[in-house]
């Protein structure tokens, strides 16, 4: 890459923001460079479902005008961003990767979008995802899979594969993802990028089309820990429109990323998340990273979370139960797809035909599981038991945080698998999230950051760092320290090793 525009797309958000603030480059140039990159590579990657070409340039020009007028702008002003298609943006199509919402343009902004606009971030478009965020590969999108920029035959993770691929393919320096069981962290791991699931309630869910309300959380995706911190700070904080959002000051994640000093920090290695079932190269790179943490002055101890064993089972009852209710409203009556309304059919028939045609197999599978789990006579055995497991997992975390400031594990058991490899085997697909799910059940904060390439396939491996609720700053402290040490060792960010598209 020798052109000016190519250079721009390979910069971090921090560098771009700085260059714009210094007047070295305009927001319009930065935006156009990324839009050009999207035209150039997205035919292969398919990270985007909808690109806001004209609108994005318009917003960027506005930023330039205001900067020229002497206005003081925020730290991300003019930086482009890719938005997961599960968050509403007024007047812009929002499909959640589903046919059932095809053509729907929400009349309102999600709080995340409102805050991005307030931060003068330039939204480039909406990114692909597994339908209603159900999946770990983005293969369950009704609009076709997204491909991993490291290897176009492989999955970019899911459900937020569009967002992770967009930043890994240098189509945007920042993206917003949502994480219900790992949908920010697992895509980050398999694309060699950074992804953070904030504390549950840390970022408003208003305008986030719900999959499982008690688990969903929006968060930042980036190529560096500092970029993620800046984005985190821009979107987090209490929102009176989301009753579950926490009314407390946002931990200073940017200061933590800047500090990046982990001397004396106690790091707990979760015994149950590793070893058997984890790819050899994943374990190897993870273990090496643990050594780096020790070298940086952290105190690494082993902790046990015995109830994590039941996390996956509990998750696949709680999530479908909530989803079966959250997705009920897609009935063809008010918006989106409507099938079979021929003037003779009943309301019930039109609802059934719409849902039959509008939802994919994985969505139907989970709606059926959830409907069953909530049915009278089964509720206690399924949903009730799952909630008890949830309590036990929360207690495991509490006990582990007595011994450690943060906990770590590999983010995913394997590197990116081939498209088509697991799509017909739901259980194998669900196992991708075995290490990330406990965090959502307990509502903690967690980050995935790249720790190297697995020797056997040359694909990225991610480490998960977990912090107690409302201690998100610790993720950035540890993540930034580790990232700095690894970049020193490699001479560049891991993503620089991704092949040219």
Partner 1 sequence: MTTTAETMPYAEAIAAFEPVLGLETHVELGTASKMFCSCPTAFGADPNTQVCPVCLGLPGSMPVVNRMGVESTIRMGLALNCSIAEWCRFARKNYFYPDMPKDYQISQYDEPLCFDGWLDVTVETDDGPRAFRVEIERVHMEEDTGKLTHAGGATGRIHGADYSLVDYNRAGIPLIEIVTKPIVGTGELAPLVARAYVTELRDLMRSLGVSDVRMEEGSLRCDVNVSLNRAGDDWGTRSETKNVNSLRSVERAVRSEIERQAAVLSSGGRVIQETRHFHEDTGRSTPGRSKEQAEDYRYFPEPDLVPVAPSREWVEELRGTLPELPSAKRARLRAEWGISDHDFQTLVNGGALELVEATIAEGVDPAAARKWWTGELARIANDREIELADVPVSPGQIKHIQRLIEDGSLTDKLARQVIEGIIAGEGDVDDVVAGRGLAVVSDDSALLAAIDQALVDQPDVAEKIRGGKVQAAGAIVGAVMKATRGQADAAKVRALLFERLGVSE
Interface with partner 1 (CB under 8 A): 87-88, 94, 96, 101, 104, 106-108, 110, 205-210, 212-214, 240-244, 321-322, 324-325, 328-331, 333-335, 346-348, 351, 371, 374-376, 379, 383
Q: Which of 98, 110, 137, 159 is catalytic?
A: 159
Instruction: Report the nearest approach of partner 1 to the CB of residue 64 (Å).
Output: 31
Residue nearer to partner 1 on the CB measure, 129 or 194: 129
β-strands 122-127, 218-222 pairing: unpaired
DSSP 460-492: EEEEEEEE-TT-HHHHHHHHHHHHHHHHHHHSS
Angstrom distance (rounded) from CA 199 to CA 205:
12
> 13-21 and 53-68 helices cross at what angle (nearest 10)?
50
- Does 183 qualify as catalytic in the annotation? yes
Residue nearer to partner 1 on the CB measure, 327 or 451: 327
Instruction: Report the nearest approach of partner 1 to the CB of residue 266 (Å).
Output: 32
Instruction: Report the nearest approach of partner 1 to the CB of residue 125 (Å).
Output: 18
Instruction: Report the nearest approach of partner 1 to the CB of residue 56 (Å).
Output: 22
- Does 84 qualify as catalytic in the annotation? yes
Instruction: Report the nearest approach of partner 1 to the CB of residue 436 (Å).
Output: 19
Contact 133, 164 (CB under 8 A): no
β-strands 218-222, 174-178 pairing: antiparallel
Nearest CA to 81 out of 102, 52, 40, 105 is that of 52
Residue nearer to partner 1 on the CB measure, 212 or 465: 212
Residue nearer to partner 1 on the CB measure, 318 or 495: 318
Buried-exposed string 438-477: b where 16+ CB fall within 10 A, e elsewhere? bbbbbbbbbbbbbbbbbeebebbbbbbbbbbbbbbbbbbb
Instruction: Report the nearest approach of partner 1 to the CB of residue 490 (Å).
Output: 40
Residue nearer to partner 1 on the CB measure, 206 or 316: 206
Residue nearer to partner 1 on the CB measure, 112 or 454: 112
Residue nearer to partner 1 on the CB measure, 218 or 408: 218
C-alpha dist (Å) from residue 197 to 58, 200, 273, 388 = 31, 8, 18, 23
C-alpha dist (Å) from residue 123 to 35, 57, 82, 100, 468 = 11, 10, 6, 24, 31
C-alpha dist (Å) from residue 104 to 94, 332, 336, 450 = 6, 11, 5, 36
Contact 355, 327 (CB under 8 A): no
- Does 283 qualify as catalytic in the annotation? no
Nearest CA to 175 out of 227, 139, 213 is that of 227
Instruction: Report the nearest approach of partner 1 to the CB of residue 200 (Å).
Output: 11
C-alpha dist (Å) from residue 405 to 173, 262, 263, 297, 354 = 30, 11, 12, 14, 49
Query: Alpha helices, DSSP H only, in 304-384?
Result: 311-326, 347-358, 361-373
DSSP state for residue 154 in the 8-state scheme: B
Nearest 5°: the CA angle 78, 79, 82 is 125
Nearest 5°: the CA angle 186, 252, 27 is 75
Instruction: Report the nearest approach of partner 1 to the CB of residue 103 (Å).
Output: 13
Residue nearer to partner 1 on the CB measure, 43 or 107: 107
Q: Three-state SS string across 216-275, please?
A: CCEEEEECCHHHHHHHHHHHECCCCCCCCCCCCCCCCHHHHHHHCCCCCCEEEEECCCCC
DSSP H or E run through 446: strand 445-453
Q: Which of 12, 26, 84, 137 is catalytic?
A: 84
Measured from the Cβ of residue 290, the count of other Cβ atoms closer than 10 Å reads 18
Residue nearer to partner 1 on the CB measure, 246 or 446: 246
Residue located via tokens 């207690």: 395
Instruction: Report the nearest approach of partner 1 to the CB of residue 230 (Å).
Output: 25
Q: Which residues are known catalytic residues?
A: 84, 159, 183
């Amino acid at each position: 890459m020798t052109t000016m525009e190519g250079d721009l797309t390979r910069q971090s958000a921090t560098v771009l923001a700085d260059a714009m603030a210094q007047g070295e480059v305009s927001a319009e140039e930065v935006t156009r460079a990324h839009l050009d990159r999207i035209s150039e590579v997205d035919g292969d990657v398919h990270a985007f479902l909808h690109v806001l070409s004209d609108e994005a340039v318009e917003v960027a020009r506005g930023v330039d005008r205001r900067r020229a007028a002497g206005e003081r702008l925020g730290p991300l002003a003019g930086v482009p961003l890719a938005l997961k298609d599960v968050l509403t943006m007024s007047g812009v199509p929002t499909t959640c990767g589903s046919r059932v919402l095809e053509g729907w343009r929400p009349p309102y902004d999600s709080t995340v979008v409102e805050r991005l606009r307030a931060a003068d971030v330039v939204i480039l478009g909406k990114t692909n995802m597994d339908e209603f965020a159900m999946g770990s590969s983005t293969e369950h999108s009704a609009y076709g899979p997204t491909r991993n920029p490291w290897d176009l035959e492989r999955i970019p993770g899911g459900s937020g594969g569009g967002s992770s691929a967009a930043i890994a393919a240098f189509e945007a320096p920042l993206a917003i993802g949502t994480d219900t069981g790992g949908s920010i962290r697992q895509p980050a791991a398999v694309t060699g990028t950074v992804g953070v699931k904030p504390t549950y309630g840390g970022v408003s869910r208003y305008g986030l089309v719900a999959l499982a309300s008690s688990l969903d959380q929006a968060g930042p995706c980036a190529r560096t820990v500092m970029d993620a911190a800046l984005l985190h700070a821009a979107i987090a904080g209490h929102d009176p429109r989301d009753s579950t959002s926490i009314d407390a000051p946002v931990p200073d994640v940017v200061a933590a990323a800047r500090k990046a000093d982990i001397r004396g920090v106690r790091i707990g290695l979760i015994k149950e998340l590793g070893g058997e079932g984890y790819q050899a190269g994943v374990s190897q790179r993870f273990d090496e990273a643990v050594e780096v943490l020790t070298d940086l002055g952290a105190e690494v101890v082993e902790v046990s979370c015995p109830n994590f064993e039941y996390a996956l089972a509990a998750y696949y009852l709680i999530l479908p139960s909530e989803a079966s209710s959250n997705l009920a409203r897609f009935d063809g009556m008010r918006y989106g797809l409507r099938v079979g309304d021929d003037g003779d059919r009943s309301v019930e028939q039109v609802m059934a035909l719409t849902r039959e045609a509008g939802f994919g197999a994985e969505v139907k599978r989970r709606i059926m599981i959830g409907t069953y789990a909530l049915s009278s006579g089964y509720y206690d055995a399924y949903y009730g038991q799952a909630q008890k497991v949830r309590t036990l997992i929360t207690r495991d975390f509490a006990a582990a945080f007595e011994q450690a400031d943060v906990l770590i594990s590999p983010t995913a058991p394997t590197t990116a698998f081939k498209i088509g490899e697991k799509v017909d085997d739901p259980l194998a697909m669900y196992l991708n999230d075995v290490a990330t799910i406990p965090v959502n059940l307990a509502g903690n904060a967690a980050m995935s950051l790249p720790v190297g390439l697995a020797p056997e396939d040359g694909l990225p491996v991610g480490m998960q760092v977990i912090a107690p609720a409302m201690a998100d700053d610790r993720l950035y402290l540890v993540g930034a320290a580790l990232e700095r040490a690894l970049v020193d060792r490699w001479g560049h960010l891991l993503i620089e090793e991704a092949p040219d598209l």
